Amino acid sequence: MLFFGLPIFFTGLSFQGVIFEKQIYFYFWILIALVAWVAKGVTMSEMKIRKTSLDIPIFIFLAFYLISAFFSVDKWHSLWGFFGDPSRGLLSVLALIIAYYLILSNFSAKTFKWILAGLISSSIVVSIFSLLVLLGVKIAPASLNNYIPLSLIGTVAGLRVFLGMMIPLLMVAALKMSESQKRYMNILSYVVLIFVPINLFIVSMIFDTIISGVILFGIGFFLLYILSHIVRPKENLTWIPMVVFVLAMIVLATGKNDLSKVNVPIEASPSAAVSWDVVKGGLKENPILGSGPATYGFDFSKYKPQSFNENMFYGIRFYQGTGLFFESFSTLGIFGALPLLAIIVVFLNVVIYLISKDKEKNKVYSLGLMSTSMVLIISSFIFRVDGTIIMLGAMIGAVTMAVVLLESGLEEKYLKLSLKASPKFALTLAFIFIIVSAGVAILFVYIGKAYLADIYAGKATRAAKVTEADSIKNLNKAVSLNSREGRYYSRIGQEYMVLANEEASKSKEEVNVDKISGYVSASVAYAKEGVAKMPNDALSVSVLAQIYESLSMQVDDALELSFKSYENLLSLEPHNPVAY
């Protein structure tokens, strides 16, 4: 369910959007799998954890991630993840590491077939959905349009990466299915293969030169091993990767086609030059541990150059860097970024080495997964990547490692906790089961409340009109369920200010001064609480400053408070022209 459901899951009900919903979905299944894994260990009197070459860099990375989160400028969001995309939070990283060991420790050929079937099926669903949406085909009643995203992945950039990374897997699935003696499998292989040109066609509709080049590289990597006979598909099918490579070259050469019937939104990201300035500023102030996980928004606001104000996106605050390379150095510092790079380097070395040796073993699955991983890794280091791609990338990386070890026939090494070996291990395993079960129960409750809170906030933001009885009431419900999220407070402050302005715009006979006073007091109180929850967030501070500014003609000390808030904003965002 995780591999099939993650790319396609959405409800459209939340305030934070599709990526947040996928993160909640990911947590749900990981927690269930974790309990099942530990319970299986207790039942079978033995728990096994697979050892791999990535163990040391993973745990060094986790250690520094934890330390960086402890000293973060925004400890809560470094733990939970930032608003809208929590994938950089410590909780998400822990879940990804757990997923890695869950996959490796419980892997088999049968498990892999289910995983591959899930990925291929979800890819087909995403392709069909995206094609219909881009061609302007109505796939749901008009009343549901506000709930249906343009991209099931969460962003258009994420959709490009997903479609591109699935091409090698689609080819592998088609090649292996065609070898089956069962006729229906041969027919299905052609069905799967059809979606390779469909994916390339969709990529051309949402064209980006660099990602198209990355996709071509991934397909070229696949073709290189085929032509060098390191990996050998069925002889009469060698033409398939060749044709796909040519099609990818045509897409790159011809560029964007004009067949899309919808306006694809422009997804801005900071340029490499701006990102490098942010990295230099972050390393200068916090070189060892950075500003903390999931705090790139703080770094961007504080260290963006003056020249950034000269482009059309000067008013946008970016909360993710252009590539994990830039983002990790500023948020995690040198000690956090280097272990991340070490994980990537060790992974590439191990997998490429194992695929390249023992040609007689014909590691077709390993090659397809490695080509997919190459697209993911390169994209993640040169593009602003969303949480969906990070989660899928980590899980596919784990599957790649598991498959290449399986196809290479290497001895499986495990860390074993056996109840039979010693009473000490029996006690340890029982204790682990109790702790894990209790922790999972607590997390289930909190994650459920956080998701429900965001559904209430989403309902508020979709309201046609700001009212105390509807939108503000729903936002207050969100606050009561998730009181740690500062964005909810700032939003309520803004909505109360809308009500105050509406009341003030009425005629003298209709205006209610007491209502205005109540709205203003509530607006200031909630905006101040938003700043209290997120004191180093430029947006929260700017909301409070704007509210004070709007009251400066009516309230005596509001102008002075506005000046102080803007001074605070300038300390967080020195090159903000609006604050000046």
Q: Where are the domains of the chain?
A: 2-417, 463-572
Q: What are phi and psi of 9, to 5 degrees?
A: -75, 135
* pLDDT tens-digit series, residues 343-402: 999 999 999 999 988 877 888 899 999 999 999 999 998 888 899 999 999 999 999 999
Q: How many CB atoms lie within 10 A of CB 568?
A: 19
Classify 463-572 by CATH class. Answer: mainly alpha
Sign of the CA dihedral 279, 282, 284, 287? negative
* pLDDT tens-digit series, residues 254-279: 888 888 888 888 888 888 888 888 99
Mean pLDDT value across residues 322-341: 91
Indicate the pLDDT class of residue 543, thresholds 50, 70 and 90.
very high
Mean pLDDT value across residues 487-504: 91
* pLDDT tens-digit series, residues 42-90: 777 777 888 999 999 999 999 999 999 999 999 999 999 999 999 999 9
Q: The pTM is what?
A: 0.92
CA distance 117 to 155: 24
| Residue with more model confidence, 151 or 419 | 151
* pLDDT tens-digit series, residues 14-52: 999 999 999 999 999 999 998 888 888 777 777 788 899
Indicate the pLDDT class of residue 426, thresholds 50, 70 and 90.
low
Q: What is the pLDDT of residue 550?
A: 84
Mean pLDDT value across residues 456-483: 92
Q: What is the pLDDT of residue 419?
A: 65
Which of 7-21, 228-242, 246-260 is least confident?
A: 228-242
Mean pLDDT value across residues 195-221: 92
Six-digit token pair at 192? 């799967």
In the predicted model, what is the mean pLDDT of the chain? Answer: 89
% residues pLDDT > 90 (the chain)? 52
Q: Given the structure tokens 């998701």, which residue do they identify?
A: 451
| Angle between helix 183-205 and 109-134 (nearest 10) | 40
pLDDT higher than 80, residue 236: no
- Alpha carbon distance, N-terminus to C-terminus of the chain: 51
Contacts by 265-270, CB closer than 8 A, 24 or more apart:
265/150, 265/156, 267/155, 267/156, 267/157, 267/384, 268/313, 268/316, 268/318, 269/157, 269/318, 269/320, 269/322, 269/383, 269/384, 270/300, 270/304, 270/308, 270/318, 270/321, 270/322, 270/384
User: Of 442, 462, 439, which is closest to residue 450 (Cα–Cα)?
Assistant: 442
pLDDT higher than 80, residue 235: no
Mean pLDDT value across residues 298-313: 87
Six-digit token pair at 20? 């947040």
